[in-house]
Structure 1
């Protein structure tokens, strides 16, 4: 059964609080709200580049319109307008489903690599500058895509952009988590998912609008697909410039022994003076955790001085140390389950799914896809407002039930009507409604929680590496789902939705029995949930560090301040 979060008590008897959770707490912390929103432009780029390609691939100027070929032995591809100035740019993509699938999927492979390599990068150059580096990479990939005149250019541009998307998907939630106080951490990290959904819906509707540039026929302008690909450089440039004004993560600064900068950064983020007892206590707690990590690493790997060797050993510790591999399993399995509840199968292949259930027409399919994006966006808002009140476990459990019910109903309707959906529009639209309800349940539950938990549960020495592995798992599973979904829809048909329903049930069981609640627990206290720091040597080492930092004196002073404040409130 999951550990009771109440067992994870605050440092001493002192509560380090800067505000309450929920909507009211966010409004009272406008600077933190701004930082989370601005950093989540990285999420917007992720969602936009993921979503834009589906509309580009059906743009008539992008692909070929094949001429009718009465000779079945003639396999030469000829296109309408192929000998005119309006020739299509990529005729091979018109009739090659495998090639189209790889154009979609190459982004996820680049993102997998980007997420894995960005852990060491963000430790080396900081969370802040790794965001800038990722944006530079993204700009290169976007320019190559928008200016492409050959299929290899499209693939190269998508792969480079994917590398950046993977970097951003790893570092943005990590950065926001390290800036956030416990009472607001879930809500602020959930802005990553809001940015992703906003990017997806923007891409869908921009694709829809630009398809009319030059008309929707053979005379369509190249701007119909080049502009959506070029547009993503605008938010990337905004985030690149803004990176110079973002604060460093205080936790990263402590890792680099830059204590004075860390204190100033923390006070700036918390909007209180550096002399405030909460700043002193939080700094001491972060310092104690960082010192403990360094001393434990030195004891575990004596004589290891090479940064590369130490890095590999830290990666290894994620799989060999019991409390770390438990955390890693939770973080990675959560990413796996997120994908296998069916979300990106629907995001990538929504038009095909709506055709399968009997709806028809290009505009109807695009509008259906656009509705998916809007629901995904709007349904993320409740998680931002309330996840720090509801808790991660309750949200995951409720979301699993909601998603499972929707997948079960869609599968059953599909099974009953199968090829007769086109002649039973009521059943087809019922499927559409429950697909939309599934999207809503996904968005406010696992869609947000899967970014929050990995970014908050790991100790400082392996945090960036562990988050990189977890998000890399997300991209690997994303790639697998994108690759197998068309085959599933064509072979087992309605069984595809029964499969997703089964994974929703598995998600509920797993969360109920094995996932602890992390709501309101400071990052430095996660060992009390997952173990670690419990052996005799660890306890002795932490006790010595606390004595060295004179933490007991700081706690006593903080208690005096709190008692005086309480007495003042009673007398006034």
Structure 2
């Protein structure tokens, strides 16, 4: 297949833009927007499973069926944490799986695991059965939380990439919101207190099977990632898929530019990546790629940024609030399970609504500005919550206004988290890595998120019991670290194509790499005469095999 493109593809590259960023860009790209919404069902399952367990833990019948889980803080911590431990393993192992079998099929494998885990949870008769179900669901959630942002970033045009990947976070918040309000209704099945039915908690656990089945069936209709196809040498199919995704004809100069950027980046990675012996096992080859993250300076910089973002995100305290929201609101003086679930239901609504501005403006404002604004809002919220807790921890019942004020700033914190680091932490890892290591790098970054999540879920009940209000000052410190770290260390990536990230992070800046890139361009016929499109010279592209869109 003869593909050629503008001389500006590498180096001072032409910015490829199919439409405007933000809301206008999404409206003008309905096909890819719908694909992203469908793939984000994986995020909905992630959020639903996280949200549903916090309400289940405070239900009377669940406490009756599993008294050890309801009353033992350590065992309860492990029940919550086993899912995150499984998710860490799932995210880490799904990097090689998604590279070998495609992003598309790794989603299907994850949904099969999730379905089995969900059935075990809703049918659990013993603690062991519940733990196994949550472990399997955790493996699946880790796999989807890694591969869906990666898949969305690889099919998205640069002008709306941030918005499309943020749909993963919108799916998560929708799942949390649905879980909270569903439990608010199901708690009355059979009555309240000792009369509550098992269906009050089994039904919410069972209902997550439905979206899981929908996503599993839908993966048979999802297109492959064009970048994954190019990585596998399926160039013609990559071009066909890219034309369908962009809804343009194959002679459109933008799709010509984009497909060649992908090919140039792939060839550059092939020539610069350490060669592997044909007799070398796939496991050893994968370990060699992981080792590159630490011995190659530009990859080391990227992996540090991606993993640091995940760790900071978790230690701002978000999942401590999501997992233990009912207990938090009880601790600040709200009485009764109904009021507690109502308060956490508001958390879900705010979390969902506050994510929408990120979808609309992420690609206009940029990642850095969004993170700094969110970090400031979270810091103020944690400071006020911690101070109120310190002053009124022994007298909440006498100062209900203080309890509601603390509750309100939990909501303010949630809002700032949702539109800032809650969204950006999925975008950055999925867009900054070169093609040869992208799957494994994203898996490693998301695994670090789940490891941090595991630690927070395990220690938070003990922290709240041991140091009470100091727990929120601890989270405040990480909110402040986020602001400083973003200001000094995080580069802006909005509007930059994935193939041009070397201009920001290095990797093709050394003299020998510049020379190699020039040789690749010559090899692909990027110099010489061609037809003129605007001010760009573009060689003819053989598109006879591609159907018109």
Contact 1:293 1:461 in 2 (8 A): yes
RMSD over equivalenced CA pairs, Å: 1.8
Contact 1:387 1:395 in 2 (8 A): yes
1:283 and 2:227 aligned: no
Q: Which residue of 1 aligns with 2:53?
A: 53
Q: Which residue of 2 aligns with 1:29?
A: 29
Residue 379 of structure 1, aligned match among 354, 364, 367? 354
Q: Which residue of 1 aligns with 2:543?
A: none
Q: Which residue of 1 aligns with 2:214?
A: 238
Structure 1 position 96, deviation (Å): 1.9
Aligned partner of residue 63 in structure 2, secondary structure: coil
- 1:513-546, Cα deviation, whole Å (9 max, x unpaired): 0100001000001011111112233222211111
Contact 2:87 2:138 in 1 (8 A): yes
Consecutive unaligned residues in structure 2, runs of 5 or more: 1-7, 539-549
Residue 128 of structure 2, aligned match among 146, 152, 155? 152
Residue 527 of structure 1, aligned match among 502, 523, 539? 502
Q: Which residue of 2 aligns with 1:82?
A: none
* Residue correspondence of structure 1 range 552-563 to structure 2 within 5 A: 552=527, 557-559=532-534
TM-score by length of 1: 0.90
- My pick for the range that moved more, 325-334 or 407-416, is 407-416
Structure 1 position 355, deviation (Å): 1.9
Aligned mates of 2:15, 2:478 — CA distance in 1:
39
- My pick for the range that moved more, 11-20 or 358-367, is 11-20
Aligned mates of 1:357, 1:139 — CA distance in 2:
37
Distance 1:554 1:480, change over 3 A: farther
Distance 1:399 1:63, change over 3 A: same
Contact 2:53 2:323 in 1 (8 A): no
* Residue correspondence of structure 1 range 418-497 to structure 2 within 5 A: 418-497=393-472
Q: Which residue of 2 aligns with 1:321?
A: 296
Aligned partner of residue 188 in structure 2, secondary structure: coil
Aligned mates of 1:422, 1:499 — CA distance in 2:
25
Structure 1 position 280, deviation (Å): 1.3
Aligned mates of 2:219, 2:348 — CA distance in 1:
28
Aligned partner of residue 221 in structure 1, secondary structure: coil
1:361 and 2:347 aligned: no
Structure 1 position 551, deviation (Å): 2.4
Distance 1:448 1:13, change over 3 A: closer
Aligned mates of 1:303, 1:137 — CA distance in 2:
33
Distance 1:550 1:50, change over 3 A: same
- My pick for the range that moved more, 416-425 or 550-559, is 550-559
Larger Rg: 1
Consecutive unaligned residues in structure 1, runs of 5 or more: 1-7, 65-88, 564-572
Q: Which residue of 2 aligns with 1:514?
A: 489
* Residue correspondence of structure 1 range 113-512 to structure 2 within 5 A: 113-298=89-274, 305-512=280-487
Contact 2:9 2:257 in 1 (8 A): no
TM-score by length of 2: 0.94
Structure 1 position 560, deviation (Å): 5.2
Aligned partner of residue 82 in structure 2, secondary structure: helix
Structure 1 position 217, deviation (Å): 3.1
- My pick for the range that moved more, 306-315 or 108-117, is 306-315
Aligned partner of residue 397 in structure 2, secondary structure: coil
Structure 1 position 14, deviation (Å): 3.3
- My pick for the range that moved more, 129-138 or 213-222, is 213-222
Contact 1:31 1:269 in 2 (8 A): yes
- My pick for the range that moved more, 423-432 or 11-20, is 11-20
- 1:480-502, Cα deviation, whole Å (9 max, x unpaired): 11111111211211111111111
**Which of the pair has the greater relative contact order for Cα pairs under 8 Å at 6+ separation?**
2
- My pick for the range that moved more, 9-18 or 171-180, is 9-18
Distance 1:105 1:245, change over 3 A: same
Aligned partner of residue 148 in structure 1, secondary structure: coil
Structure 1 position 554, deviation (Å): 8.5
Q: Which residue of 1 aligns with 2:547?
A: none
Aligned mates of 1:364, 1:20 — CA distance in 2:
44
